[in-house]
């Protein structure tokens, strides 16, 4: 799993790979800010032949709850992890400013109606981490931001950096227009950002990566190409099959919206109804070979489906956690489920 994270990051930095995507990406993702994205997440299922990458996430949530699975009484990030997290934000801002000594004085943690988000408590822990480092922090929605000639503001306070937890990944909605304008004019360091999302996390990227010959044409070694081919399940657009073939083979697929998140709009083919199938947009629905999650046994012999999330910055692993659940897709609602500790032996 760690090798896959390293190789996909390496692929994302390849100029030939980037050039191949130019015709596919929206305008916001063509803007290269010179930095990457904090809080990447790589989700895996353990199949019979080894780990399979299910999806890549920007603004991956849950790292605080992963920490609590190691220490339920924690009130702050562990010192080592907190240091890694701060370094990732500081490095982003230094790359953005093209100054290794640049340091953000003010960070906004941005999300849609943040106080109503299920992971709002996690935002508060990040805010505490930034404040401990001497950074002014605000948690805000995009409607609170104002674009001025000299940058992006909340009230009279200029924003140096946005920790972007909003799920409008390509900044397409009217709510995110001010953020988009500031981003396109390089007035604010936005991380995660549309560029990294377009290169790595848009689910249509897995269509390319799942074809064994594709990475090999971009300077990866034979072994590196084999690792990617072995680790990414077959992925394709719904429109690549006739409606009859897609319905007939539905049990071998998971159906996903190409820019979806948090399992929204995801259907396991075996559970998909004919009515819902006819409602799917063939141009933006991704079919991914179904890889059944592994099973973990809890107390009282209760069985949980299990997947693994690697939190990363660039090609560096920040934290590894399992998620245990019951039901069709990953969730945080299963009793005694959620994030779970991973012991590496």
Give residue-wise pLDDT tens across range 292-303. Answer: 888 998 888 999
Query: Is a pLDDT exceeding 80 seen at residue 305?
Result: yes
Query: Is a pLDDT exceeding 80 seen at residue 114?
Result: yes
HSE value, Cβ hemisphere, 13 Å, CA-based, for 20: 15
Q: How much is the average pLDDT of 155-178? A: 96
| Cis bond upstream, residue 192 (ω within 30) | yes
Q: How much is the average pLDDT of 14-32? A: 91
Q: Does domain 234-290 have CATH number 1.10.3470?
A: no
Helix, strand and coil in the chain, % to nearest 5? 40, 25, 40
Note whether 286 and 236 are within 8 A (CB). yes
Query: Angle CA(134)–CA(136)–CA(140) in degrees, nearest 5?
Result: 150
Written as six digits, the tokens of 104 are 């953000």
Query: Is a pLDDT exceeding 70 seen at residue 205?
Result: yes
Of the given ranges (20-34, 227-241, 252-266, 276-290), which has the lowest mean pLDDT?
252-266
Note whether 310 and 1 are within 8 A (CB). yes
Q: What is the dihedral of CA 291, 225, 263, 235, to 10 degrees?
A: -70
pLDDT of the residue at 134: 97
How far apart are the two ends of the chain, measured CA to CA in Å? Answer: 15
Q: How much is the average pLDDT of 12-25? A: 90
Q: Which of 100-114, 210-224, 240-254 has the highest mean pLDDT?
A: 100-114
Q: How much is the average pLDDT of 225-243? A: 89
Size (the chain), residues: 345
| DSSP three-state, residue 116 | helix
Note whether 141 and 110 are within 8 A (CB). yes
Q: How much is the average pLDDT of 191-220? A: 82
- Positions of E strands within 183-284: 189-191, 235-237, 253-257, 267-268
Q: How much is the average pLDDT of 85-101? A: 97
Q: How much is the average pLDDT of 278-304? A: 89
Cα–Cα distance, 320 to 217 (Å, whole number): 31
Q: How much is the average pLDDT of 121-131? A: 98
């Amino acid at each position: 799993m760690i090798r896959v994270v390293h190789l996909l990051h390496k692929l994302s930095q390849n100029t030939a790979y980037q050039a191949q995507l130019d015709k596919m990406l929206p305008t916001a993702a063509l803007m290269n800010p010179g930095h990457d994205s904090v809080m990447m997440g790589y989700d895996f299922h353990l199949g019979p032949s080894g780990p399979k990458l299910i999806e890549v996430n920007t603004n991956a949530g849950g790292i605080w709850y992963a920490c609590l699975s190691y220490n339920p009484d924690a009130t702050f990030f562990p010192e080592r992890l907190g240091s890694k997290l701060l370094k990732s934000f500081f490095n982003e801002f230094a790359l953005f400013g093209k100054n290794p000594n640049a340091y953000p004085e003010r960070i906004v943690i941005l999300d849609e109606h943040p106080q109503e988000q299920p992971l709002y408590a996690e935002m508060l822990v990040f805010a505490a981490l930034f404040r401990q480092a001497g950074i002014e922090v605000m948690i805000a929605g995009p409607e609170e931001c104002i674009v001025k000639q000299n940058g992006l503001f909340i009230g009279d306070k200029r924003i140096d950096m946005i920790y972007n937890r909003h799920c409008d990944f390509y900044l397409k909605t009217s709510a995110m227009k001010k953020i988009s304008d500031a981003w396109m004019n390089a007035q604010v360091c936005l991380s995660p950002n549309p560029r990294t999302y377009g290169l790595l996390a848009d689910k249509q990227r897995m269509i390319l990566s799942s074809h064994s010959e594709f990475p090999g044409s971009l300077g990866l070694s034979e072994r590196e190409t084999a690792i990617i081919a072995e680790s990414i399940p077959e992925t394709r657009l719904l429109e690549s099959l006739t409606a009859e073939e897609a319905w007939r083979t539905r049990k071998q697929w998971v159906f996903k919206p190409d820019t979806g998140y948090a399992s929204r709009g995801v259907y396991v083919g075996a559970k998909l109804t004919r009515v819902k199938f006819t409602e799917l947009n063939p141009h933006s629905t991704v079919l991914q070979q179904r890889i059944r999650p592994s099973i973990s046994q809890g107390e009282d012999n209760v069985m949980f489906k299990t997947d693994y999330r690697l939190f990363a910055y660039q090609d560096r692993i920040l934290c590894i956690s399992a998620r245990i659940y019951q039901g069709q897709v990953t969730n945080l609602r299963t009793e005694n489920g959620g994030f779970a500790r991973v012991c590496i032996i």
